[in-house]
Chain A
Amino acid sequence: MIGIEKLTKTFGRFKALDNISLQLEKGQVVSLLGPNGSGKTTLIKSILGLTIPEKGQITIHGKPVGKDVRYRAGIGYMPQIGRYPDNMSIEQVIHMIKDVRKEQADYDDTLYTGFGLHAIRHKKMRTLSGGTRQKVSACLAFLFKPDIYILDEPTAGLDPVSSELLKEKMAAESARGKLVLITSHVLSDLDGLTSHVIYLQDGRLVFHESVEYLETVTGENKLNKIIAAIMQAPKLLPC
């Protein structure tokens, strides 16, 4: 579904992404991992067309990402930091995005009701806590039933109940054949959900493997143990 070929991006002298090639297929839940500043957000933003790559190409459903913005109708994006206009209410923000995507009138509002946002829909964005704003972001990402979900630190700042609800939603969507791409530092949140792991370091791809493969290679079954084992003994992986 998403094909990335030899993607390179530098900011000044800093190489944010260095010759990355990836192929992501539908039904996968891909965890994008790596230390701070390893290029995770740059990769996500490149897929969304927010940063413009220097070299390489990104294709979605076989079509290159470029001038035509329509491909983004098939993507639901949840940013790491959700900041909204101060004086707009939750309802107005949701209406606004619905108006911007007028062609897609088939809504999925399970998260909207699940998070209880309908009860506080008249509250101004300025008055909301960070967690509630995260819920609005999540709700917007899932609203248009896209084929691809790109979630940047989705569970950071959410309470356990909401976090669980969001994870259930992600699992349900991937079971429906959607592609879910997540970055998170809370690895325990990704356990049991992830099917593939991409590990980036200093803008380079360290590995991209399925979780089953990683489990057999390392003999561990928790994601944080798996990553720790590989970091201590990089020879476990052929690449």
Chain B
Amino acid sequence: MLTITRYVLIDLLRNRSVAVYTLVLALLSVSLLSLEGGSGKALLSLLNITLLFVPVITTLFATIYFFNSLEFIELLLSQPVKRTRVLLAVYTGMAFSLSVAFVAGVGLPLLLLAPALPSLILIFTGVVLSCIFSAIALLVFVLTKDKTRGIGAAIVVALFFTLLFDGLLMMLIYAFSDYPVDKALIALMTFNPVDLARVLMLLQLDAAVLMGYSGALFKKFLGTPAGSIYAAASLVCWVLIPLLLGVKVFRKKDL
């Protein structure tokens, strides 16, 4: 498997889109950090950028790349290798190179200009989101028949998790405003990796107070070690479940 991953990396690390993505992230990080001087505010802005950019760009880029590699994947599968191995190798290459892009673009400026625990958590968040949305892109690739539909589905999925989900959540909260929905909210948030990542990060910034009662509740639950472990475990599930589902479908897929 690592043989194939190595060559996928050779290709991806020289990809122009990955380079541009890294550069844009680096520019944003450096300018924000030097403007706000490594304060909580700068981290908050960077967090918002991460939570919007990483899911959207990762999902779109990975889906397009997977579809462009379809013929090459077919050629690889005509060799004596298992399907699972090829798919996981391609995924690993994608998740790794996008994580590297994030660490180089956001991580390095953070470590140089604001070396503290919240910065580390933000880097972790970005890397995990890269892995999650690469896995979701893989699932989209495996489930859709052609490139056009695949890219369409990728856009819908990315927008759903970054924008739509929160809108629906707000509607829900508003509709049930007479009831105590806080606990249900934590459960619902598990269904959106972007929200999980946001809360995990906000708790580190003492910005939880800004979120009112639910913020206090989040702090009470997710601020405890058990809560943090719960959020982190949920994020890991968000990598594993789409990945395993993708492998399962791909094993029986007609190419």
Contacts and interface: CB of A to CB of B under 8 A. Distances in A.
A72 B71 CA distance: 17
Interface in B87-137: none
Interface of A: 11, 45, 48-52, 69-73, 75, 77, 79, 81-88, 92, 96-97, 99-102, 137, 140
Question: Interface residues of B toward A: which range?
Answer: 20 to 34
Given A45-B255, A51-B254, A87-B10, A96 B78 contact: no
A88 B11 contact: yes
A183 to B, nearest CB: 15
Contact of B72 (A49, A72, A85): A85
Contacts of A45: 254-255
A140 B4 contact: no
B31 interface: no
Contacts of B10: 87-88, 92
B80 A83 contact: no
B81 A100 contact: yes
Contact of A85 (B11, B77, B254): B11
Given A72-B79, A72-B80, A100-B4, 18 more contacts: A11-B254, A50-B255, A69-B80, A69-B82, A73-B79, A79-B74, A79-B78, A81-B71, A82-B71, A82-B75, A83-B68, A83-B70, A84-B72, A85-B8, A86-B68, A92-B7, A100-B3, A137-B75
Contacts of B79: 72-73, 97, 100-101
Nearest to A99: B3
Q: Please name the 6 residue pairs, one residue from A and one from B, whose CB atoms are nearest each other, closest first.
A: A85-B11, A83-B71, A77-B78, A87-B14, A51-B254, A73-B80
Contacts of B148: none
B69 interface: yes
8 contacts: A48-B78, A52-B252, A79-B74, A79-B78, A83-B69, A84-B72, A85-B8, A100-B3
Contacts of B254: 11, 45, 50-52
A96 B77 contact: no
A86 to B, nearest CB: 7
A79 B76 CA distance: 11
Contact of A88 (B4, B7, B68, B71): B7
A139 to B, nearest CB: 12
Contacts of A96: 3-4, 7
B39 interface: no
